[in-house]
Structure 1
């Protein structure tokens, strides 16, 4: 089968204390092929602070560009907010290549968001999609990893934590540029995500306590061809 797109499952609440509010802004429109797009902002709507973060990596491989590979590793640090909308997305497309001249399209997006406050309203979206369009034997992988750190009071990521995250970022760049088969690449990306989760858990271990306990929540969405 040459055309592939996975069915989209409904997303669950990010944490027990988080509640979804409204609809988060729809996607990132008009993103140039194979270019990560990043947006982050904090604003006041009259009732308090609202944080918005959006990251999107898109790659498109075809007969003119056989290999397209991009990744994003963003750290969005927001202070105390009343509401937050965070979105992380990876899309990879391979089109029109043949088995003896196959394409490779890899899009990986790691998004880390820190928010603080009691009873913060949170709307989180994390999704990926890998599509083969008449592309026999192509390697196509899209992976979205979203980490939300919620603490009662603003969390300061110290120098040691930032160095550890920067090291993971460097290794993600190297992994994305590698020629590993999609299955191996998926496994190693999962390993890097586990490292990030551990680093963030260590970072919140001594965070100030409040009515709500500090939490680190990771969402993972991977789609790949061949295999899942």
Structure 2
């Protein structure tokens, strides 16, 4: 069997492979970079003019390792910035397994980004890709969830919000390591994403008010075999 990739859906702005908002000029001096990708939280200094962050999860299952599952849950609080470029990506591959000894590959990435400012330029990219390579009966799932919180005044997630997010992260770890069918896994992960959105909306509601309305946006992309 040749390599297979599930066709991408372009019917909704939320599910597009790349979501880009506003404009970002590459190569601007004074870039503040939040790395590594697996860090639990990263905060850019308030005096930074540009903030850049990239989170990437990759899983690869094959005959030597029939099951590989990975997830990431990052919080990036950038504060006052003039421009922000953030990228969130999940890739999963299953290769060379048979129906009698099939593979399971799962990659899930949750990225939370908070930015402050009335005229912040934002470039947000959210990608996922799942591929079966000569892999009969394999389950392969890649999911990228990017949460962008924009507020006119600085927002810092308090202990309550962080505690609720930590609990969601724990349950995401459990789901990622589970053996439930891919269709059920997708549904449950979507449920966790909805909980994250709720936590962020609560945090925004308690934040100081400004001239513009705060906003919480979810960029979601899922790709998987068997298909949705």
TM-score when normalising by structure 2: 0.86
**Contact 1:42/1:49 (CA < 8 Å) preserved in 2?**
no
- Please name the residue that 2:200 is paired with: 200
User: For the aligned residues, what is the CA RMSD?
Assistant: 2.2
Q: How far is 1:43 from its partner?
A: 7.4
Q: How far is 1:38 from its partner?
A: 4.1
Q: How far is 1:4 from its partner?
A: 1.8
Please, which runs of 5 or more residues in structure 1 have no aligned partner? 25-35
Q: How far is 1:12 from its partner?
A: 4.5
- Please name the residue that 2:72 is paired with: 72
Q: How far is 1:3 from its partner?
A: 2.3
Runs of 4+ in 1 over 6 A off after TM superposition: none
3-state SS in 1 of match to 2:141: strand
- Please name the residue that 2:94 is paired with: 94
Tell me how far apart the structure 1 counterparts of residues 166 and 58 of structure 2 sit (CA, whole Å): 22
Map 1:30-45; keep pairs closer than 5 Å: 37-38=37-38, 42=44
**Contact 1:50/1:82 (CA < 8 Å) preserved in 2?**
yes
Map 1:3-152; keep pairs closer than 5 Å: 3-8=3-8, 9=10, 11-14=18-21, 19-22=22-25, 37-38=37-38, 42=44, 49-152=49-152
Please, which runs of 5 or more residues in structure 2 have no aligned partner? 11-15, 28-35
Residues 5-48 of structure 1 show CA distances to partners (whole Å, capped at 9, x for unaligned) of 2445564544xxxx122469xxxxxxxxxxx944767479xx96
Residues 199-228 of structure 1 show CA distances to partners (whole Å, capped at 9, x for unaligned) of 100000022222321110000000010012
3-state SS in 2 of match to 1:180: coil
